[in-house]
């Protein structure tokens, strides 16, 4: 006979199906990582890498598996640190990682003198490709579980956007879109 599944340590470990059309199982709370980083500390405060790792350890240790980030949070530092933490702990496949694109992750104030930034933001196919490639590299993974459109910019057509998102899912770079 099979042993019964052990009870979760906390309520955070009582995972549920995300939605009727996405049967992936997630913790009841999603940990947002917008403040994980130091690059915007003068604007919004800072969360050091040590503190971010401690938060991630506590969340994971309590049974949390759903983590949200975005291409532009702390100019990519949030994704970078999350990727470093996942690699150090060897827990990537235990987690449901959601990231976003649309907002430019190459900000004009990043001193990218001489670089043309017009296609690093928006919902167009090129922006999606550039953003997702950079996100996957920072996260140190070959796929994200959920890729969200972060904002609607009003110029990309719905057919272009949906074809581009479908291409990403068919390529296995994102399991779900939103």
- Mind telling me the catalytic residues? 73
Instruction: Return the axis-axis angle of helices 158-170 and 125-139, rounded to nearest 10°.
Output: 30
Do the Cβ atoms of 128 and 169 come closer than 8 Å? no
Do the Cβ atoms of 50 and 88 come closer than 8 Å? no
Tokens of 40: 């915007």
HSE-CB at 107 with a 13 A cutoff on CA atoms is 10
User: Which residues is 26 bridged to in the sheet?
Assistant: 16
Tokens of 144: 């994200």
Tokens of 138: 């920072």
Residue 38: name the closest of 69, 74, 76, 73 by CA: 74
């Amino acid at each position: 006979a099979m042993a019964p599944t052990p009870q979760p340590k906390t309520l955070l470990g009582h995972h549920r199906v995300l939605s009727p059309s996405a049967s992936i199982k997630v913790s009841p709370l999603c940990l947002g990582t917008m403040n994980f980083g130091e690059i915007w500390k003068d604007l919004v405060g800072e969360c050091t890498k040590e503190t971010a790792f401690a938060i991630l350890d506590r969340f994971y240790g309590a049974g949390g598996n759903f983590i949200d980030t975005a291409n532009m949070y702390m100019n990519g530092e949030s994704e970078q640190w999350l990727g470093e933490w996942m690699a150090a702990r060897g827990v990537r496949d235990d987690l449901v990682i959601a990231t976003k694109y649309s907002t430019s992750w190459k900000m004009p104030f990043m001193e990218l003198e001489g670089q043309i930034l017009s296609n690093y933001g928006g919902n167009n196919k090129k922006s999606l490709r550039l953003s997702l490639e950079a996100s996957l590299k920072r996260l140190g993974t070959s796929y994200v579980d959920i890729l969200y459109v972060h904002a609607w910019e009003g110029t990309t057509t719905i057919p272009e956007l949906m074809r581009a998102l479908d291409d990403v899912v068919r390529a296995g770079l994102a399991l779900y879109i939103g």
